[in-house]
Chains A and B, each alone.
Chain A
Amino acid sequence: MVAVSHDEERIRELLAPFDRVETVTLRRTRWRRTWLTLAVALGVALLVGGGVAFATRIGPFSGISAADHSQRAQDVLDPAVVAELRADEAPGGDQVGTRDIQSARLVGSLPSGRHVYVVTTSKARLCVVVARLAESCGNPLTQTEPLTFTVVDSDGPGGEPAVAYGVARDGVKSVSFIVGGRHETVPVRSNMFAYQPPAFVTSDSFSSVMVTLANGAIQSVR
């Protein structure tokens, strides 16, 4: 027993220089600093620019460059989609608010070809609308919640396959998740990503959603 203690003491002495090594930390510290710098720079730009640009950038489309422009012909929602959105709105109003149809901006399309739009609401929520398929609404994107993630379940054999999609803030390069036990990474293009799983899955099959930022930092999604 004494010999063991002596050995242990000797090992501690031998390893002592290792105690002097300087630690490393996650790159997120640098990332936060970068974002802080960007935020300050953006603030200055907004003060200089002002006007409509200001209203757009601090609204529900904040951080979504693909939606940061005036409405073009392709952004206009089909009347049938508008009717669906209106039908979904609660008569007395709900936490989402009334959809601002004029705010619609096309951000991309799903593998099936269905168009994906972002829409703001009277309660400053961000809605992601897929024509004749789904609508998902929530708070505007932030640095800690940098993307929306919606899964539409498969219709079963012969039906429309499942699809996962969402809108991500500027600076998000890709989205990773585990689906059916497999780790998948999907690139973000023009603030949008979409993934069609090869086999039958449900929304419960997706977990561990993370984003990789343009600077290489990885962030879990709340």
Chain B
Amino acid sequence: MTAGADDTVRLWAAQRRDDVFAAQVDELFRRCERRIGKYLVQMVGDRGLAEDLLQDVFHDAFRTREQLRHVRNADAWLFGIARNRALNALRKGRRLQAALTRLARRSEPSEPDHELVALRDLLERHVAPEDRSLLILRYLHGFDALELGEMTGRSAEAVRQRLARARAKLIAATTEED
């Protein structure tokens, strides 16, 4: 029963082995933090909420870091976690629409970027959050269909089809509004 000093040294050594993945997540976050942060702002539109989500992504990544053993593209893995967090937040946001709208207004810059506000409005009205996420990850963050497939658990072909439908929907919406 007694765990002497030697036992403890062995225990700590075991934790250090586990830290191979912790160090990997650390390095990954250092590399991707700003991109992930930007993606979250693009998705949820509220900087305070995006900051909270970024913390959650960091926590999730550490908690599930052993998955890195089987991951081919670590950046895509991390963006996948961020995507799930953003979509969950948006789902909750629908339930708390009024509160979130107030929050979003409060954190808008004093001189809003009208083009940005119009784009967000257009996307929110015409493109589902999942599709919005795919469009942003594909066209602003450069992930290809294969990587998006890994993030979403779909085949690359299914992602391509979904992207095509999302593109068509967004283009149709802009034409309609013009």
Contacts and interface: CB of A to CB of B under 8 A. Distances in A.
Given A14-B174, A19-B140, A152 B3 contact: yes
A160 interface: yes
Nearest to B58: A26
Contact of A11 (B1, B62, B63, B139): B139
A17 B115 contact: yes
B19 interface: yes
Interface string B28-58: 0100011101101110000100110011001
B171 to A, nearest CB: 6
B92 interface: no
Contacts of A20: 113, 116
Interface stretch (A2-10, A43-51, A55-63, A190-198): A2-10
Q: How large is the interface on B (under 10, 10 to 19, 20 to 34, 35 or more residues)?
A: 35 or more
Interface residues of A, number: 51
B18 A207 contact: yes
Given A24-B37, A135-B8, A210-B59, A150 B3 contact: yes
Contacts of B62: 208, 210, 220
A160 B3 CA distance: 13
Contacts of A96: 5
**Per DSSP, are chain B's interface residues mostly helix, strand or loop, or mixed?**
helix
A133 B1 contact: yes
B11 interface: yes
B11 A150 contact: yes
B1 A152 contact: yes
A220 B37 contact: no
Contacts of B18: 207
Contacts of B14: 203-204
Interface of A: 4, 7-8, 10-12, 14-15, 17-27, 88, 96, 127, 132-138, 149-153, 155, 159-160, 178, 183, 203-204, 207-210, 216-218, 220-222
